Structure 1
Amino acid sequence: MRETSPIDLLRQALPGLPPRLQAAGRYVAQHDFDAATRSMRDLAAAAGAPPATFTRLAQALGYTGWEALREALIEARRGAGGAPYSARARRNPGGDLPAAMLAADAEALARLDPAPVAAAARALHEAPRIWIAGFRSCRGVAQLLHYQLRLFRPDSVRLIGGAGPEDLDLGALRPGDAAVLISFAPYSRAIVLAARAAREGGCTTIALADRPHAAMAEGAAHLLRFDAATSPGFFPSLTGALALAQALAAACFALGGEASLVRLRETEARLAAIAAYTPEQDLPS
């Protein structure tokens, strides 16, 4: 393992590189996450350079080729991002932490922009099928949105990876479908792959993300931003993501009008018929 990180090595080598390799090197240094997660061909297209330029750049830095440099970038990010939560815990303020967390969440909710939600809801309403992707800590947000949408669209909403391997769902994405992608930094490899599959599949993508330049939000038709970083707790806050997911489901329901209401009533009747809920009179006093 190299003692110097690949990005530091790159920065040190930049002055002595030819102009074309300098341009490619600066792009890698500024977009190290993309360099670690995208193919060389995709990265070259985004940088506006021939793919061979990145091979020559890697070799100029002492690597056998681009894949060797890419593996070093992945390893460097793994080391830097291996403790995203414990590092936050060391920065926690003293005093009344619960009160500080609730206050931070309230302020973050007040900053949410409702305008993009309406446009994204229309895209969901018009799509024949809706796919929802959220992994790791964002899985709960994805499951909530999936549940609420299925109450009035029971046959056209799917949770990616919910009933089998994720790759089978990603292979089923089709033009005209809508894909909702939920994540915050550090972004999981699974959500980046889902975003790429949605783009390549011709889906209308809706990203619930913490940053406009998030890798999983690239090319998204709609971006719903939430603040995950200002919570003083050890774990980034998902309150904004949950609020956006619920607002998105409610707005989609409203666009469906009477048809959505009919399907919701049918779902409720079915749940009642199978005794999904415990009658209040049966609860212990």
Structure 2
Amino acid sequence: MAQAEPKPSPNRSPLGELCSALPSLPMRLQEVGRFVAANDYDATTRSMRELAAVAGADPAAFTRLAKAIGYSGWDELRAALTEARRPTQASPFSARTKGRRAGPNADVTLINEKLEAEAAGLGRISSTAIADAARVLHSADRIWIAGFRSCRSVAELLNYQLRLFRPDAVQLVGGAGPDDLDHGAFRAGDAVVVIGFAPYSTASVLSARAAHHARATLIAIADTISAPMAEGADHLLLYEAATSPGFFPSLTGAIAIAQSLAAVTFTLGGAAAKRKLEQTEDRLAEMSQYFAEKG
């Protein structure tokens, strides 16, 4: 009679299950398991083939690893890792304060840890994915940008920068009226950029679904591939929100992606974009929008 595979415990984290099982695994699976444990964010955001290439392993080893610790396959283990990283709906921010060290230098330590985590997260953003998405923005008939609650600041930044050289083609979803009226204006040929992180705003999910319904191109700037506002996205631009310490998830990566999108889209626009930018600058100067010291 075949021995039943172990079942993951509902009371333990998937990383805990993995680390506990490592000593009993074959050597090659131990190596893959240690890689996953040390790179759990990448494990939730990158494909199995990409992980295997970085780890120097056979993609099938990730499936064998998942089955060895009681999961049906890599997809189920990755889903469990993703869920473990997601804050609870009831306390998405205050839950992040648990376990923080106290002491005379705790404030400086927190700042150093946060800066290090932000820098590491920026280094894992895919420049190729951003360049591909920027080409979509360059060729789109219209660009809609959806960001709500804390992500509104990122959406407004991207909207502002793009409007400097494409003033007639860029609009903030909900910027001039109810969100649903803008949803009804989405069309094929448009690009819709939706920005979010856990816990995800209902408005961002509805914006993404409206983009699908209109057959517009959806670009999701999200913290994980399982984000509901990123489901079925044509372009997924991932950033790290949860790994940075502090009571609130980090928007540093989302801001960097937004600014990179604007920079590359402007470059793709060539001479026409430059002329539009110069016209905008002239208008701003005429209106004295920037303070100048009088000599």
TM-score by length of 1: 0.70
Q: Kindly indicate whether residue 139 of structure 2 is the aligned counterpart of residue 131 of structure 1.
A: no
Partner of residue 162, structure 2: 149
Which amino acid is the alignment partner of residue 111 of structure 1? R
Distance in 2 (CA, whole Å) between partners of 1:209 and 1:92 is 26
| Superposed displacement of residue 244, structure 1 | 0.4
Aligned residues: 205
Structure-1 residue corresponding to 2:264: 251
**Aligned counterparts of 2:159 and 2:101: Cα–Cα separation in 1:** 36
Q: CA deviation at 1:80?
A: 4.4
1:88 corresponds to 2:102: no
Aligned to 1:261, the other structure's residue is in SS state helix
Q: Hey, what does 2:40 align to over in structure 1?
A: none
AA aligned opposite 2:90: G
Structure 1 portions without partners, runs of 5+: 1-7, 9-78
> Of the candidates 214, 217, 220, which is equivalent to residue 207 of structure 1?
220
Counterpart residue identity of residue 253, structure 1: F
> Which of 202, 219, 229 is residue 242 of structure 2 equivalent to?
229
- Please state whether the residue corresponding to 2:165 is helix, strand or coil: coil
Match of 1:168 among 166, 178, 181: 181
Unmatched tracts of structure 2, length 5 or more: 1-9, 11-86
1:182 is the counterpart of 2:195? yes
**Aligned residue in 2 for 1:109:** 122
Which residue matches 2:45?
A: none
Q: Could you say which residue in structure 2 is the equivalent of 1:34? A: none
Further displaced range: 189-198 or 272-281: 272-281
Amino acid at match of 1:170: H
Equivalent-residue separation in structure 1 for 2:162 and 2:263 (angstroms): 9
Q: In structure 1, what is the equivalent of residue 41 of structure 2?
A: none
Residue 283 of structure 2 aligns with an amino acid whose one-letter code is: R
**CA distance in 2 between partners of 1:161 and 1:220 (Å):** 21
Q: SS of the residue aligned with 2:225? A: coil
Runs of 4+ in 1 over 2 A off after TM superposition: 91-95
Instruction: Report the 3-state secondary structure (helix = DSSP H, G, I; strand = E; otherwise coil) of the residue aligned with 1:280.
Output: coil
Residue matched to 1:267: 280
TM-score, normalization by structure 2: 0.67
Root-mean-square deviation over aligned CA pairs: 1.5
Deviation digits for residues 158-217 of structure 1, max 9, x if unmatched? Answer: 000011111111111011100000001111111110100010011001000011121111
Calculate percent identity across the aligned residue pairs.
58
Q: Name the CA shift for 1:91/1:146 in 2 (closer, same or farther; >3 Å).
A: farther
Contact kept in structure 2, 1:92 and 1:234, CA below 8 Å: no
Q: Structure 2 matches for 1:27-38, cutoff 5 A?
A: none
1:92 offset after TM fit, Å? 3.0
Cα distance in 2, alignment partners of residues 244 and 190 from structure 1: 21
| CA displacement at 1:98 relative to structure 2 | 1.2
Alpha-carbon offset, residue 97 of structure 1? 1.0
Q: Is the 8 A contact 1:131 1:157 kept in 2?
A: yes
Question: What secondary structure, in the 3-state scheme, does the structure 1 residue paired with 2:145 have?
Answer: strand
Separation in 2, partners of 1:125, 1:116: 14
> Separation in 2 of the partners of 1:201 and 1:156?
17
| Amino acid in the other structure paired with 2:118 | D
Matched to 2:259, the amino acid is: Q
Give the aligned residue type for 1:233: G
The whole-number CA distance in structure 1 between the counterparts of 2:143 and 2:221 is 15
Give distance in 2, aligned partners of 1:153 and 1:279. Answer: 26
